[in-house]
Amino acid sequence: NSATDKSAGEYENSATRFRNYEGKFPTVELKLDFNFESTWFNTDDQITSDIIADLPTGKVGKSIRSVRIWNKRGAETFFTMANIVWTVELEENRRILTLSSATSIDVFGCGPIIEVGIKFPRNSEQEQCNEIKPLGVTVDNKFHLPIWVESCSFPASIFVRPIAQRKTSS
Contact 146, 135 (CB under 8 A): yes
Buried b (16+ CB within 10 A) or exposed e, 46-85: ebbbeebeebeeeeeeeeeeebebebeeeeeeebeebebb
Yes or no: say if 131 and 119 are a contact pair by the CB < 8 Å rule. yes
Any idea what the Cα angle at residue 40 is, between residues 49 and 149, rounded to 5°?
45
- Reduce the DSSP state of residue 23 to 3 states and report it: coil
Per-residue model confidence as pLDDT tens for the chain (170 residues): 334 444 444 444 445 665 666 667 788 898 888 765 445 555 667 888 899 998 998 889 999 999 998 888 778 888 888 899 999 999 998 889 988 888 888 888 767 889 999 887 766 555 555 788 899 999 888 898 888 887 777 778 899 988 876 555 54
Instruction: Quote the pTM value.
Output: 0.65
Determine the pLDDT at residue 43: 62
What is the pLDDT at residue 140? 84
Closest CA to 146 of 108, 102, 107: 102
The whole-angstrom separation of Cα 61 and Cα 79 is: 29
What pLDDT sits at residue 100?
A: 87
- Which phi and psi (to 5°) does residue 137 adopt? -130, 160
Q: What are phi and psi for residue 11, nearest 5 degrees?
A: -65, -40
